Amino acid sequence: MDRLDNTIRPYAWGSPTAIPHLLGTEPTGEPQAEMWMGAHPGAPSRTGRGTLVEVIDADPEKELGPAAVAKFGPRLPFLLKILAAGAPLSLQVHPDLEQAREGYADEERRGIPVDAPHRNYKDANHKPELICALTEFDGLCGFRDPLAAAGLLDGLGIDSLKPYVDLLHAHPEDAALREVLTAILTADPEEMSRTVAEAATACTRLGGAYAPYADIAHHYPGDPGVIAAMLLNHVRLQPGEALYLGAGVPHAYLNGLGVEIMANSDNVLRCGLTPKHVDVPELLRIVRFRPSDPGVLRPEASPDGEELYETPIDEFRLSRYVLPEAGGAHDLTRATPQILLCTAGTVRAGEHDLTPGRSVFVPAGEKAEVSGTGTLFRATVVA
């Protein structure tokens, strides 16, 4: 096993205290948004053998296993993170695999630099993801029923929102949602800014179901994404609960600490709550305009103590072990690569003692015996 030394990303929306509190370190006063564990070229984990990218590149089949290399190629197909949201992240969607390949090839043909601010596709991969709450965790996920969204907007009592309310009563539902989101994102910026300001005041006054949107408007004054966010389901996860975000599902994380795992991609189409580029035509091509339940996941326990978060994709598989004080050792050896992350207590993984926030990389097939008292997340692949 390789103990991992991981990079913390200081994005502006990050909590200045949540990750330091987990790690038992002093806050720096700066935001600490994400800690990355994996072989993403932007911030690969470091080991005693070099970066995890260098370790895998030196012998992919040894580190990843023949089955994983045959299925995903000579790279680790997932990225594991600790995510600490102190403010709302951008409202966004991710493409499916075919859309990502088409979009990436098109931007390559047009010669758009990969680091250009208006570039949508950084790679040719999709980006399904899963967030598992370590604390209470607030987010937005998927479209509300259009009539419920209409009721929420109508309850603000703002004349400029009446056309959206009327549109949401139209049929079919997918066309109504598409038309309203398009209207919000293409509205006159000055008029929309005034509408958002009125909505922020009303949300603050009304509280209750409107409170999350008052907070969003506080962080993003005048942003049309504030109104777009009201089309989505608000969900509050309890520790141990999770959300799976598939292709085309609009979502945003609002507040809380969690373990996130995703396919190794940077492809994001933004809908709002951001100063970054919003490509409305491409966004509308990717979004799936279907009302849906957020689908809160709770882990399925197996006799050996593994609690698995079921998802429909193979690039990652996330589970956890809650190890009791009197428990014996667990053999986690697999023929696929693993990252083991401690989030509570002290867990012995091979020869490494893991405290909260500490992690190890386990090459495919390497003996992986764990013991101790605490909570351990296990990230691997299905191959």
Tell me whether strands 269-272 and 91-93 are parallel, antiparallel or unpaired: antiparallel
CA dihedral (62, 68, 70, 72) positive or negative: negative
Active site residue 75: no
Token pair 């309310």 is found at 165
Q: How wide is the angle at C-alpha 204 spanned by C-alphas 203 and 210, nearest 5°?
A: 40
On whether the CB atoms of residues 86 and 13 are closer than 8 A, the answer is yes
Largest CA distance in the chain: 65
- Active-site residue (options: 75, 144, 270, 378): 270
With b for 16 or more beta-carbon neighbours within 10 A and e for fewer, the 110-129 pattern comes to eeeeeeeeebbbbbbbbbbb
User: Quick one: tokens of 213?
Assistant: 């949107």
Non-local (6+) Cβ contacts of 204 within 8 A are: 210, 214
3-state secondary structure (DSSP) of residue 242: strand
Q: How wide is the angle at C-alpha 101 spanned by C-alphas 100 and 102, nearest 5°?
A: 90
Distance of alpha carbon 74 from alpha carbon 86, whole angstroms: 36
User: Quick one: tokens of 139?
Assistant: 């987010």
The catalytic site residues sit at: 270
